[in-house]
Structure 1
Amino acid sequence: DDSTKRRCVSTACIACRKRKSKCDGNTPACAACASVYNTPCHYDISTDRRRKGVWKKDIDSEQTKNSTLQTLIEAILNYPEDDVATLVRDIRTCESLDDVAESIMQKEKETEEAEEEELAAFNAAASSSTPTFETQLSGRMGELQLTEGSTRYIGGTSHLIHLNVEGEQEDPYDMVSSAGASEGFASPSHEDPVTSWTRVTKDPELIMHLLNMYFTWHYTYFVTLSKALFYRDFFQGKPPSGRRPYCSPLLVNAMLALGCHFTSRQGGRENKEDSATAGDHFFKEAKRLIMENDEHETPRVTTVQAFALMSVREAGCGREAKGWVYSGMAFRMALDLGLNLDSGTLTTRQGSDLVDEEEDLRRITFWGCFLFDKCWSNYLGRLPQLPTGIVTVPKFDVFPSEDAEIWAAYTDSGFSQAHAQPSRVRAVSLQISRLCEISSDIMLSFYNPIDYERVKGKQAELKKLSEIYQRLEAWKRELPKELEPREGGLPSMLVMHMFFQLHFIHLFRPFLKYNESSSPLPSNVSPRKICTQAAATISKLLRLYKRSHGLRQICNIAVYIAHSACTIHLLNLPEKNARRDIIHGVKHLEEIAEGWLCARRTLCILSLLARKWRVDLPEEAATVLARTDAKFGPSYQESIQARPPNQQPQHHQHQPQPQHHQHQHQRLGPSHLAAAAAAAPQPLHHIAPSASGFPVAADFPANRPAAPSYSASASASTAAAAAAAAARRGSETTSLPPDSAAALGMARAQRRAASGPSDLFGGVDALLRESTDWWLRDQSQLAAGFDNWDMGECDAAAWAEGL
């Protein structure tokens, strides 16, 4: 019964404690004091050690005591020698140490306030007078400085920041701009302003036609300048000085060279009968201007823009080495100009902020370079040259008036209103810049050469993979509805979604080397299936682009994306969807190849891969590759011949081939067989750099080994046994050759040096040491491992969100 339970009393009254009698703890008076002894009853709460308040009071008291002692000791240690004796005397004669400590802290506070007032007065005097040597040396952020007619960024540690302190140079091009604005200055009356920017042609209609091509098909994705500012200076014509703030002959010729790749007019070709020379004459003029005017020596925003455009044009022509140099010049010049920094936090030597249009131009130019950098990084498989860690400049603004401007498809027949719609140039570009930031993290996390030799923990890889995957899903989730892919959508928008899907391939491709038992991923997440879904979506977007706009006019970045997707399709053959997508893929590349040379080389590489890995291509795809081999083969051979002598292909004597080799050549057709015979002796490590940036032969070699070749010393019975084994395999051309020496009748060491993918990885012995590498495993084992990783698109998202 609760009423009979003894009540626990924490504190007895003072009287009961003195009497040492039992106290019931009642208030206001206990029973003993009220009924028995008739004494006053009082309680002392502070004596109750079981109450939290008492302990808190004790802790506070101890902290105060410690603080007091610390203050006194520090004062004795830090006081001047003459004041220590006085302080010690105060401590000895005081009634409370707390009072002494409080007086010491009050004195220190008054001293600090006096120092702050003195420093503020000094700074006010320094700001109102001529800067002193000390104030200049104390700068950390640097400033924008006008040097030789160019605004450059000079950091705080550089001694160049003190150059030209006495007198500042005025930008002669700003003088031209202001003079032109006030006096209506234009190009000489005898010269058309449109034709004054180039010496290649004096046909104003051709120049405007090429500029329209550039701004319709290329600029909308690679936004790296202000279209309004460019045209404002362009239509004023070239001044005697040679350039204006937002337009220069170098920039115009770079634009015209790019515009030539979207037209079939003969005026866009250096050799009117050769489509491979599209834009070469304008590009040569741009290179002449660089050397003649020393454009690379003086940094300007227009020069940054021109170098960036020249770099992407060289990539489209399959000249990566030259394009890489131009991109590097553009990026280094952008950093020299301080485009990566927020100019709002910087100062200018003139003491005035940048005008709004110049500030916007700097931002749009840098983020355009940022996109070029990430495209080059993916294209060549190299780390970004412009890492996000050096970027403080905000993203550019979206101007409603500019994005509301109507975009209409422009071809050699003129403008078409079939899919006319708001251009949304900057809105799309902002979304692409967000993707570029994710792309930078993918390259740094999974393709960093520094990490190749490090042993990463599986959990660390999984955590980074999940983080980037969630960022990609968040990008898609937050995308405005008007920017979703649809029939007749903007070309830049469709290419943006292809670029988005490419990130999934790059993100999960490093995990293809794992099998189900060794993978750090959950059992329901299949890297191969995610890559396959991304490649299929890219193919679908390309078909959507073709139906909406045709593939004659498309950015050359689409070639790299299509090449990556086609490599996945080759991996998945002979699966039904892969057969469909590879047929569409080679047809799309054939159409794009009319304007871009890199697409021609991509087709040659895909054809070579199909032969090397003995892919059972669909008949339509084999026909297209045979046709393109015959049509574009010489350009690929030229890229082979342009290599250093030590990288020339090695030709071997003809060796007997098993019967299923001949069967494959017959299925590819006579012309394809001739091309295969010409290229067959070339080992894979002599393939020219692929249009996809990463060596395609090393991308997914698991399912595509070359059939074994035999040396001249192999016996007839051995060859017959191998032929019988090949006949039993029938059309299973995608399986790996058996490793058993008995089945082959020969040792693995007897195979030719270029007989399969092992050469790419240091030979068979090196591969055997890497027991977890998936390309060594038999196809049936590989299929068994991946078939169990069945998942839908929602499974990966649920997995990432659950981590």
Structure 2
Amino acid sequence: MSRAPPRHRDHDDESSQNTTSRGRHPSGLGPFREILSRESAPVAEKNNVSGAAGLPSPVTRKSNVSSACTPCRRLKTKCDGRTPCSSCVSKGTEEACIYDVDNRRKGVLKRMLHDSQQETTQLQSILDYLRSANATSAAAVLSQIRQGLTTSELIRYIETLPAAGVPKESVGAEDLEGVHQHGCRDVPGPLEWTSVVQDQGILNHLVDLFFCWQYHQLPILSKPDFLDAMKAGDTRFCSPALVNAILAAGCSLYEPADPSAYPQGVKVLADQFMEEAERLIQEELVQGKYTLTSIQALAIMSMQDIAAGKETIMWFHLGLAVMMAINLALDNDASHDAAGTGESGRLTYWGLFIADRLAAFTLGRLPQMRTVGHPRKPQHPSIGESDIWVPMMNLTRESGFRRPENFAQVVSCQYELFEIVNDILSSFYHPGQDATTHDVNALYMRLLEWRNKQPTEMDPIPYAVPNIYHLRLLYHAAILILFRPYMQSTTEGLSVEPTLVCKEAASAILHIEAIYDQCYGLRFAPIYYLNYIYAAAFVYVTVLAEPQALKFFLQCMQYIKTMGKYYQRPAETAFHLMLSMLLKQDIKLPRSVRGELVGLVPLEPYEELFVDSIQRAYEDQALLASGLMSPGRPAQLGEMEQPMSSGTPGSLSFSDSRETPVEDFLVGELAFESGLLPDLLEDGTDDTLGRRW
């Protein structure tokens, strides 16, 4: 027999048994009865007034208070929102019952709404541009999106691109002004000139980096002619090999916003551009073609070889460029007009002249390009108001630092300075010829005359154009190569005191590089800056006993360490050479400075350099080590002027051998006989020449 389910006691049953005592009508409303709040229940008992249907009048629920008065908020008591509130009335503080209207939450909401609407408008603008732009411009914008740019940055980037729907032929004067200021940002770009990367935005950015930071130190091509030719597909002033060489140079300054896009590093991308350029030049050589663009590409590639520490490959690229220039008779001024190259041919010749002399100056050799005559120097007409330089940092330009480029004026001074440098190299490195004091004095006077002709706008002030810094650094380095061999000698007949002149030049180099570092950072410094700061460090080592010399020496080494992040192999070479020279000359350093030299190369082989205390001056230790001073006898001034080594002037080699040309005091092929750099030229470890050529 089934049992009936138990009857659950309902809450309404319990409440209906005592409705009279609670003021409820006997009929009750079950679950539909009025639910009263605690505050309303007593009021219902006192005011038990029935309505028309015999039901109690509904009790109004108390509304929530959005804000309390100032006293209640301070005391954290309940406030009913009235004026005055019941709490203040009960306390007798009606006058203090003031409400502070708080609109902060409303302001935040309005601001959020405005930002959201603005972002929506920007996104709609980007979408509209992508719908109406051609495939090249749309690909460039898509590349920037993948780089992680914000909507505001994308809008600014789109503003730099040609207007959507405007044909290429309709580029006007306004666009040409942007070409001179910002490289290739207003032209179609190098997408059709390379097969390495098919990302228009990245390729444009690499070309911009080259023209912003590297073009001025090697003006071997006409930027307007190149950009116009790249836009129009003109192979007279633009070629795939030249574009790939420029892209490889731009990679040395490129820092991708998304490093994961290049898991093997940007260096691999630069190597791919270099390999593509070499392959294309090799094809031209097989066909027997010699073009201006190939010469320009090889000169630019030589700069990258120096930055990578590949001096042999650099020397080969420059030699090939010189051979092409001779075959094209670029040294004959009449040939330029006959061939129709005009100023572009002359610019190529003098750009190669600079590249060859700069490489020879860096490595301490005679230049390869030694022609009987020279064509006249090219004319560089000023572009006027559009001749503006704006520094490029990452993917943006710092428009607040707009400076007149003064390209024509700087290049003219550059030609004159390198002609003096060419004579310095011939005087010091020509086989069987030693520079006399008369030669040194004459060359020094030419340098001073060049310096005195420089206008004030060519001074390396903060935020100057980078080519001005490079020009002045080269000037001071030329003074060092003249007088450094005589710093501790008793040579008579010099018009100035060598040590004083060298210290002034080293101080100027350190000062200029400090300004450049503060303004733009050594990230955007060319490889030659490392050579100049190394030369300054060598001067401070020579006078290490003097006040502040150790401080300046350590500052130079810090700059070399910083540049080692971007030019690793040359910086490591500079460190090894400097520390080995100190070790060989038995020059000691305080152990307290060891930490400032840690980080670039292992210091374990050089532990003998660091001592806990230095009992005598640095020059006494050097003299003791060289045998020029007996123990216990103080150093005399005449002894201090004796040479530290018997090597060839301008060399860091301390050997007596004079059979081979001197190796330069700058970073390059130095001190091979000591075994410090057995693989610097990579003859036994790098078969690049055999594989590629």
- Counterpart contact for 2:647–2:656, Cα < 8 Å: no
- Counterpart contact for 1:512–1:528, Cα < 8 Å: yes
Change beyond 3 A, Cα 1:328–1:402: farther
Residue in 2 that maps onto 1:379: 362
- Counterpart contact for 2:588–2:614, Cα < 8 Å: no
Distance 1:196 1:552 in 2: 30
Look up the equivalent residue of 1:426 and give its one-letter code.
A
1:219 aligns with 2:215: yes
Counterpart among 182, 192, 197 of residue 196 in structure 1: 192
Counterpart among 271, 287, 290 of residue 281 in structure 2: 290
1:365 aligns with 2:335: no
- Counterpart contact for 2:254–2:266, Cα < 8 Å: no
- For structure 2, list consecutive stretches of 5 or more residues without a partner in the other structure: 1-167, 170-187, 633-643, 658-693
1:520 aligns with 2:516: no
Distance 2:629 2:507 in 1: 39
Change beyond 3 A, Cα 1:629–1:294: same
- Counterpart contact for 2:251–2:267, Cα < 8 Å: no
SS of match in other structure, 1:294 = helix
Distance 1:423 1:382 in 2: 32
Distance 2:260 2:621 in 1: 43
Change beyond 3 A, Cα 1:249–1:573: same
Look up the equivalent residue of 2:564 and give its one-letter code.
A
Look up the equivalent residue of 2:310 and give its one-letter code.
R
Deviations 1:152-198, CA, capped at 9 Å, x for gaps: xxxxxxxxxxxxxxxxxxxxxxxxxxxx99xxxxxxxxxx8631211
Look up the equivalent residue of 1:415 and give its one-letter code.
R
Distance 1:431 1:326 in 2: 26
Change beyond 3 A, Cα 1:276–1:576: farther
- Counterpart contact for 1:308–1:327, Cα < 8 Å: yes
What aligned pairs does 1:648-797 form with structure 2 within 5 A after superposition?
672=603, 674-676=604-606, 733-737=621-625, 739=627
1:256 aligns with 2:252: no
Distance 1:742 1:531 in 2: 28
Counterpart among 581, 593, 600 of residue 609 in structure 1: 581
Counterpart among 221, 229, 235 of residue 233 in structure 1: 229
Deviation of 1:765 (Å): 11
Change beyond 3 A, Cα 1:765–1:463: closer
Distance 1:246 1:550 in 2: 33
Counterpart among 520, 525, 530 of residue 554 in structure 1: 525
1:421 aligns with 2:403: yes
1:581 aligns with 2:552: yes
Distance 2:417 2:523 in 1: 26
Change beyond 3 A, Cα 1:333–1:322: same
Deviation of 1:377 (Å): 1.4
Look up the equivalent residue of 2:208 and give its one-letter code.
N
Change beyond 3 A, Cα 1:548–1:201: same
Change beyond 3 A, Cα 1:550–1:295: farther
Distance 2:329 2:297 in 1: 17
Distance 1:620 1:224 in 2: 47
Look up the equivalent residue of 1:371 and give its one-letter code.
I
What aligned pairs does 1:506-545 form with structure 2 within 5 A after superposition?
506-512=481-487, 514-515=489-490, 518-521=491-494, 525-545=496-516
Counterpart among 357, 380, 401 of residue 398 in structure 1: 380
Residue in 2 that maps onto 1:97: none
- Counterpart contact for 1:275–1:594, Cα < 8 Å: no
Change beyond 3 A, Cα 1:271–1:293: farther
Look up the equivalent residue of 1:222 and give its one-letter code.
L
Deviation of 1:764 (Å): 11
Distance 1:463 1:572 in 2: 26
SS of match in other structure, 1:608 = helix
Superposed CA RMSD in Å reads: 3.6
Counterpart among 503, 507, 531 of residue 478 in structure 2: 503
Look up the equivalent residue of 1:737 and give its one-letter code.
A
SS of match in other structure, 1:508 = helix
Look up the equivalent residue of 2:256 and give its one-letter code.
R
Counterpart among 590, 593, 604 of residue 564 in structure 2: 593
Look up the equivalent residue of 1:520 and give its one-letter code.
G
Please say which of residues 367-376 and 729-738 is displaced more in the overlay.
729-738
Distance 1:675 1:766 in 2: 25
1:449 aligns with 2:431: yes
- Counterpart contact for 2:220–2:296, Cα < 8 Å: yes
Change beyond 3 A, Cα 1:333–1:520: same
Deviations 1:238-268, CA, capped at 9 Å, x for gaps: xxxxx71111111111111111111222889
Residue in 1 that maps onto 2:462: 487
- For structure 1, list consecutive stretches of 5 or more residues without a partner in the other structure: 1-179, 182-191, 238-242, 631-671, 681-705, 708-722, 745-755, 768-803
Distance 2:524 2:199 in 1: 23
**Percentage identity across paired residues of the two chains:** 24
Residue in 1 that maps onto 2:690: none
Distance 1:559 1:258 in 2: 17
Look up the equivalent residue of 2:381 and give its one-letter code.
F
Residue in 2 that maps onto 1:572: 543
Residue in 2 that maps onto 1:627: 599
Distance 1:228 1:270 in 2: 32
SS of match in other structure, 1:449 = coil
Deviation of 1:275 (Å): 6.4
Deviation of 1:225 (Å): 0.3
Look up the equivalent residue of 1:329 and give its one-letter code.
L
Look up the equivalent residue of 1:508 and give its one-letter code.
F
The normalised TM-score by structure 2 is: 0.60
Distance 2:206 2:282 in 1: 24
Change beyond 3 A, Cα 1:296–1:223: farther
1:409 aligns with 2:391: yes
- Counterpart contact for 2:410–2:468, Cα < 8 Å: yes
Deviation of 1:288 (Å): 2.3
Residue in 2 that maps onto 1:322: 313
Counterpart among 430, 437, 440 of residue 419 in structure 2: 437
- Counterpart contact for 2:347–2:378, Cα < 8 Å: yes
Deviations 1:474-510, CA, capped at 9 Å, x for gaps: 1111112211121111111011100011111111134
1:468 aligns with 2:443: yes
Deviation of 1:608 (Å): 3.4
Deviation of 1:402 (Å): 6.3
